[in-house]
Chains A and B, each alone.
Chain A
Amino acid sequence: MNTPPDAKTPSPVTQTAVTVALSIYLVGLVLSIVGNTGSGSSAVVRTIKSRLFSPWMVPPWLDLGFDYRLTYGSDEDGDFSVEVRRQGDAKAPAMRLPGRLTGERAARWRRLAWSIAVEDTDRDGLLAAAVGRGMFDDVGAEDVTVRVLRAPLVDRGGPPTVPVQASSARVRMVGGELQLIRAEPRGEVAPLVRPDAGSDTGDRAAADAVEAPR
């Protein structure tokens, strides 16, 4: 090594210790990247990372995947916002965030809205409930609707888009207990066939066949 005469070089013991520390960290870095992808991770990577590396990489905010896709042009890449209003009163003034906020401050509200719409479903609506409860005073009611709106991406050459509802939940306080009632998306349902409401030629077996999958 060609080093200046006044350069500070580590002792062999220090060099060895630092080498060990660096090696462990670099393995952790690779596992963090492999274990935090949007595609998920294998059980073996997940187990090794969560048992050996996450306990000391998570607290300093180093357990990061860096999977900055920027965009996939998909629904999840749209512009998300959160709206809270008094339940059952469409004319009541609503809290809309980020609203007209700009910059990084607005981006943080958008990320919160995105998390409510995308990640909260795996966590029993924890965030939606917290946001609803936190806005009781702002809205002036203890029974509110928390909606996340998504502005779909504009396709090249396509018409401008209007925001659509990405998720909705009713949050209310009943007897000192917080309740969350999620509005499930209305799916397509088969027509209900009731045996006793059938025609004179009603076929009981056919009705059973319709109801059986339930």
Chain B
Amino acid sequence: MNARSSAAAGSSFAASGTGVAAIGDAWNRFWFTPADSRPLSLVRIGAAAIALAAWWSYAADLQAWFGPAGVLPADTMREWRSPYGFSLFDWAATPVALTVLFTATGVVFALLLVGVATPVVAPLAALLWASLLHRGPMLAGPADDCLSILLWCLAIGPAGEHVSFDSWLGWRANRSAPAAGWRASISQGLLQVHATAIAVAAVLAQLKGDVWWNGLAAWYLATGPRSGAASLVPLMARSEYLTNLLTHGITVFEILFAIGLWCSPTQQLVARIGLLGWPLVGLLAGEPIWGLAMALFALPLAVRR
């Protein structure tokens, strides 16, 4: 039984009433059993690729939004956002400074993708991404939120130990292969916790709306301006049942995903279904990058041996 399965088993053991010690053991097994960091390296590559795509979506309008004569001046954003909000981009007061900082952010994401100096680059990427989002909070969407979580999880764990420039350097220097470690376990545990939290929060939010009960939500998603499922619209127009099935399918998928990740017999299967399911939901909802980011949360459990 692997660490996460043990944790799930440990959790149910504790629930049966054996006490605080059992809960403590389950906690320690879940968070501190050394784990292989290969899955984390795959998450790093995926998250960095998504980060580059999201970063690029700011590029063309950077000056129009954040420039000195832009529509979202720094002083207005300070009034708009939370008083605790903080952005390095606030200090980029000239077009040149803004361009330099923005380009540096892209370079950091590229370095993260390749895996150069990952222990430094990963937290820097998370910090710069949060800064960019705080510069214009109303421009941020679900994918940006999830990306922020992914980047901070990568900052905690050893995300550059495999499939990276860092590992290539280690191989050239004849260093021994990285051992399993507890930081990888914490990082992957946080990914699992957030995958569940996001799915649960999304389901709870959706079920407050009538369209998720009367089965029409999929119609409104597919006919939205960004939906990648326009080809389904004629079919859905003909068949209400299809519309209903898609709507209820999304809800059931999200519920099963949130629960299934914590049951050892279904864990890997559910995670693998998530790899396909989340991008499809994202495509239908017109949030393809969000769908991909959600799939990344499931990746470590899906590929674990």
Contacts and interface: CB of A to CB of B under 8 A. Distances in A.
A26 B130 contact: no
Contact of B210 (A6, A26, A73, A134): A73
B223 A154 contact: yes
Interface in A123-173: 123, 126-127, 129-131, 133-135, 137, 151, 153-154, 156-157
Given A79-B224, A156-B237, A33 B60 contact: no
B259 interface: no
Interface in A158-204: none
Contact of B182 (A10, A37, A39, A77): A10
Contact of A66 (B54, B202, B208, B237): B202
Given A66-B197, A72-B210, A61 B145 contact: yes
A88 interface: no
A70 interface: yes
Contacts of B201: 33, 37, 65-68
Q: For the side of the interface on B, what is the size category?
A: 35 or more
B103 interface: no
A9 B3 CA distance: 14
Contacts of A114: 138
A211 B216 CA distance: 47
B115 to A, nearest CB: 19
Nearest to B194: A29
A112 B135 CA distance: 13
A58 interface: yes
Interface string B143-182: 1110011001000000000000000000000000001111
Contact of A73 (B80, B133, B220, B285): B220
Given A59-B85, A62-B149, A3 B180 contact: yes
A116 B64 CA distance: 17
A3 B173 CA distance: 27
Interface in B85-117: 85-86
A8 B72 contact: no
Nearest to A103: B57
A18 interface: yes
Contacts of B250: 70
Contacts of A127: 76, 80, 138
Interface string A79-97: 1000000000000000000
Contacts of A15: 28, 32
B180 A7 contact: yes
Given A59-B86, A73-B217, A111 B141 contact: yes
Contact of A104 (B33, B54, B183, B224): B54
Interface of B: 27-29, 31-34, 53-54, 57-58, 60-61, 64, 69-73, 76, 79-80, 82, 84-86, 126-127, 129-130, 133-134, 136, 138-145, 148-149, 152, 179-183, 186, 193-194, 197-198, 200-202, 204-206, 208-211, 216-217, 219-221, 223-226, 236-237, 240, 243, 250, 281, 285-287, 289-290
Interface of A: 1, 3-4, 6-10, 15, 18-19, 22, 26, 29, 33, 37-39, 54-55, 58-74, 77, 79, 103-112, 114-115, 119, 123, 126-127, 129-131, 133-135, 137, 151, 153-154, 156-157
